[in-house]
């Protein structure tokens, strides 16, 4: 802790130092032996120094058990000086109450404060100053109440600061996850297409140079498109629409010699749903190009006014091991789940692989608001 913070913690105790005016005045004006004055003054200095240290340690997390030993010193000196030197020193019990409320666990605070108030009342009563009986002991209780409120505010502010830091860390982690997911989905599709067309161009280079040049032109276009999409993703503006994903899927599948049966009409969908379905089509197309061996891919979209149901099926080799870390389906499940939907994948009814996404057209929170 820096010096500024340390003094700020001690500052909670400074207002109560005003009560030392009474013992100081008594020390200076009352006729006592010099030795008594020296001992009383030294004890008052030690009392004040330890009292301030109790507050410093009570409002910091370091050495949590430290204030208790020092509080015992404060209590012993305060009670001893008050009993020894009379009512003018009984105000030191107010310090004991404040230090007890700041340093002790909650279950011990009020027994300690009541004990300090009782000692204070006993000192005042023994000297016959009954008028002060309703002042100093009551101040012990009121001071403890005030200090408990202050301590509660400090604890709440500390918890609030910790919660803010945790929220900030969670926001950073979520943004990193979003970026990693977007980058995986964007580059997975584009690089699969580039690899496929590059391989095809290599095979055609000798037998059909013109077709090979066309394929390489497609590779260049795909690479430039991927670069632009990555820039958009970095900027946080990238959104893949369902219609755009269908157009890209048609081009990629036809280039690989795979027949694509796609919806003739794209309905108007809510923005988040439209984007999520676009990512599903993209990931499904990427998986088909990578390892399905399919000859036909069918995409259907049903909209009953409540849910949008997207199904992507192929007649390839069936389910592959695509559920491990880094799998695009993991990211898709998170995207769809964030919108209250669900994503399932497995063997199709007629063989091959089927990927199915069900997304509510009205977000759950909007439905509740109605």
Domain limit, last residue, from 164, 181, 212: 164
Task: Give me the pLDDT at residue 46, please.
Answer: 92
Does residue 17 lie in a domain region? yes
Give me the residues paired with residue 349 across strands: 351
Task: Give me the pLDDT at residue 365, please.
Answer: 39
* pTM, to two decimals: 0.45
Inter-residue contact 186 to 229 (CB < 8 Å): yes
> Could you give the count of Cα atoms lying within 13 Å of 165 in the half-sphere of its Cβ?
6
Cα(22)–Cα(319) distance, integer angstroms: 87
Number of CB atoms found within 10 A of residue 62's CB: 8
Tokens representing 252 are 């990629």
Task: Give me the pLDDT at residue 239, please.
Answer: 63
Does residue 175 lie in a domain region? no
Can you give the residue range of the structural domain that contains 146?
3-164
Task: Give me the pLDDT at residue 1, please.
Answer: 45
**Backbone dihedral angles phi then psi of residue 63, each to the nearest 5 degrees:** 50, 65
Task: Give me the pLDDT at residue 325, please.
Answer: 41
Q: How many domains does the chain have?
A: 2
pLDDT tens sequence across 298-313: 999 988 888 899 999 9
Cα 281 versus chain centre, distance: 33
Cα(276)–Cα(269) distance, integer angstroms: 11
pLDDT tens sequence across 2-37: 455 555 555 655 666 777 888 888 888 888 888 999
pLDDT less than 70: residues of the chain: 1-16, 59-66, 130-132, 172, 175, 178-179, 182, 186, 231-239, 320-328, 363-370
Does residue 223 lie in a domain region? no
Burial class (CB in 10 A: 0-12, 13-18, 19+), 159: exposed
Q: What is the CATH number of the domain that holds 276?
A: 3.30.565.10
Cα(1)–Cα(8) distance, integer angstroms: 11
Cα(249)–Cα(187) distance, integer angstroms: 14
Cα(210)–Cα(80) distance, integer angstroms: 105
Task: Give me the pLDDT at residue 327, please.
Answer: 56
């Amino acid at each position: 802790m820096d010096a500024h913070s340390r003094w700020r913690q001690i500052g909670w105790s400074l207002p109560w130092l005003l009560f030392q005016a009474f013992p100081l005045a008594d020390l200076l004006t009352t006729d006592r032996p010099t030795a008594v004055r020296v001992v009383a003054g030294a004890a008052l200095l030690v009392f004040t120094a330890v009292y301030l240290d109790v507050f410093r340690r009570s409002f910091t997390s370091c050495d949590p058990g430290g204030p208790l030993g020092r509080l015992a010193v404060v209590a012993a000196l305060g009670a001893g000086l008050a009993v020894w030197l009379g009512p003018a020193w009984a105000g030191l019990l107010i310090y004991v109450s404040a230090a007890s409320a700041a340093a002790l666990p909650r279950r011990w605070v009020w027994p300690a404060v009541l004990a300090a108030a009782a000692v204070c009342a006993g000192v005042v009563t023994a000297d016959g100053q009954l008028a002060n009986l309703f002042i100093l002991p009551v101040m012990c209780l009121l001071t403890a109440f005030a200090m408990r409120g202050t301590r509660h505010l400090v604890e709440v502010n500390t918890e609030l600061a910790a919660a803010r830091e945790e929220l900030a860390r969670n926001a950073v982690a979520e943004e990193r996850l979003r970026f990693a997911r977007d980058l995986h989905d964007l580059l997975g599709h584009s690089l699969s297409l580039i690899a496929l067309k590059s391989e095809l161009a290599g095979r055609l280079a000798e037998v059909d140079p013109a077709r090979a040049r066309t394929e390489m032109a497609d590779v260049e276009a795909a690479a430039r498109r991927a670069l632009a999409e990555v820039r958009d993703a970095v900027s946080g503006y990238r959104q893949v629409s369902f219609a755009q994903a269908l157009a890209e899927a048609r081009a990629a599948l036809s280039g690989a010699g795979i027949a694509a049966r796609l919806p003739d009409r794209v309905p108007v969908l809510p923005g988040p749903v439209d984007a999520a379905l676009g990512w599903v089509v993209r990931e499904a197309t990427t998986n088909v190009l990578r390892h399905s061996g399919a000859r036909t891919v069918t995409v259907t979209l049903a909209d009953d006014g409540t849910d949008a149901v997207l199904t992507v099926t192929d007649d390839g080799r069936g389910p592959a091991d695509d559920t491990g870390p880094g799998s695009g389906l993991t990211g898709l499940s998170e995207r769809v789940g964030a919108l209250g939907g669900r994503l399932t994948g497995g063997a199709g009814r007629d063989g091959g692989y089927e990927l199915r996404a069900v997304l509510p057209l009205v977000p759950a929170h909007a439905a509740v608001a109605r």
